[in-house]
Amino acid sequence: MIASILPTYSRAPLTFVSGEGSWLTEQDGRRFLDLGAGIAVNALGHANPALVEALTTQAQAVWHLSNLYNIPAQQKLADALVDATFADTVFFTNSGTEACELAVKMARKYWYDKGQPDRGEIITFTGSFHGRSAAGIAAAGSEKMTKGFGPLLPGFTHLEFGDMAALAAAVTDQTAAVLIEPVQGEGGIRPVPDADLKAMRDLCDTHGALLIFDEVQCGMGRTGKLFAHEWAGVTPDIMMVAKGIGGGFPLGAVLATENAASGMTAGTHGSTYGGNPLACAVGAKVMEIIADDAFLAEVNRKAGLLRQKLEGLVAAHPDVFEAVRGAGLMLGLKCKAVNTDIVAAGYAQGVLTVPAADNVIRLLPPLTITDADIAAAVDKIDAAAAQLQGANA
């Protein structure tokens, strides 16, 4: 008999009933250090008092308003995002994959309105992840995500991640857009070198193609800048945001330049819940906290601390780990042992990490994690690795 919850997830036998900061409490009372943060969602930790207050204050005023009317919290968040980024305009969604849907529609409508209705091709990369909608899986293109779901949305060309020569050959005057995560998340914490992001910008400019960054996982302070692309000193035309921006409340966004958004006129797109008062009240508070130089300086300092300790772990357990990679508090441990075994051993030690492709475990702690919790987390991963080594000896 089928489970009452559609069995699309494989879940660990853990049931968390409450959280505070970087900690989650299991129903049996055990406490876990959370280095997954709901996969980079709980950017400011669990039960953050400022976010609880923003949410409950809004809840007492009004929960939902249609986009038939003005929504002050939405305006406030849009203004903050426009102020802090390359963007001139923002559309709010409820998730990352809905942001992908709009990014694709926006790029295609742009060319349609420019008198090139057949210029719909979007270039993407192997190992990418853009969500589970029809456009999202077609964009990523992996067999794992697309098998059995055809016919797929057409118009995507998939290139090998990191193959800049292939990209230079593929971008033409018929390319609508290039879509890339500045740091691949699901793909195994694979940063795109700054020089490659710059070269992509140049290629797109040469051919007039739009550049779309998917910062759903790597954005909102995760890498130590508000958005990861800032490290490379280039800007996209369109950007997808979600995960951390809601701090745990469902919220996503598409940011765009005025030019890239020029096709999206009244009636061309919409969402019932997108930009609702509850999500935007929380999102506005998240932005206020994260888009702050002192906050981001702390993220960078803590990132250095965590990275240094992880390098020590790799040196101490050369049979279990191979290398540390990533940026800021978006770090990956490339494993020699099976990554899911290490994640499971972590559960036994009271630490939560997240597996990714390429035999990597991801560390995406709350950006507010304390130095003491970083030290405790690394000790627990150390114990998990020792446990695995013991088992294999």
Ligand X SMILES: *Cc1c(COP(=O)(O)O)cnc(C)c1O
Binding-site entries for N(2)-acetyl-L-ornithine = 132, 271
CB of residue 388 to ligand X, shortest distance in Å: 27
Answer yes or no: are the C-beta atoms of 389 and 317 closer than 8 Å: yes
Compute φ and ψ for 318, nearest 5 degrees: -65, -20
| 320 or 357: CB nearest ligand X | 357
| 112 or 231: CB nearest ligand X | 231
Smallest Cα–Cα separation from 102: which of 218, 274, 251, 254? 254
CB of residue 8 to ligand X, shortest distance in Å: 13
The helix (H) or strand (E) run that includes residue 357 is none
| 244 or 350: CB nearest ligand X | 244
CB of residue 361 to ligand X, shortest distance in Å: 16
CB of residue 309 to ligand X, shortest distance in Å: 25
Give the footprint of ligand X on this chain (CB under 6 A): 95-97, 129-131, 181, 185-186, 214, 216-217, 242-243
CB of residue 215 to ligand X, shortest distance in Å: 7
Computed on alpha carbons and rounded to an integer, the radius of gyration of the chain in Å comes to: 21
| 254 or 261: CB nearest ligand X | 254
Q: Which residue's C-beta sits nearest to ligand X?
A: 96
DSSP 25-74: EETTS-EEEESSHHHHT-TT-BT-HHHHHHHHHHHHH-S---TTS--HHH
Encode 60-92: b = buried (16+ Cβ within 10 Å), e = exposed. eeeeeeeeeeebebbebbbebbeeebbbebbbb
And the tokens for 132?
């589970």
Answer yes or no: are the C-beta atoms of 75 and 285 closer than 8 Å: no
CB of residue 157 to ligand X, shortest distance in Å: 18
Residue 368: other Cβ atoms inside 10 A:
22
And the tokens for 110?
């742009």
| 217 or 349: CB nearest ligand X | 217
And the tokens for 281?
């009240």
| 95 or 124: CB nearest ligand X | 95
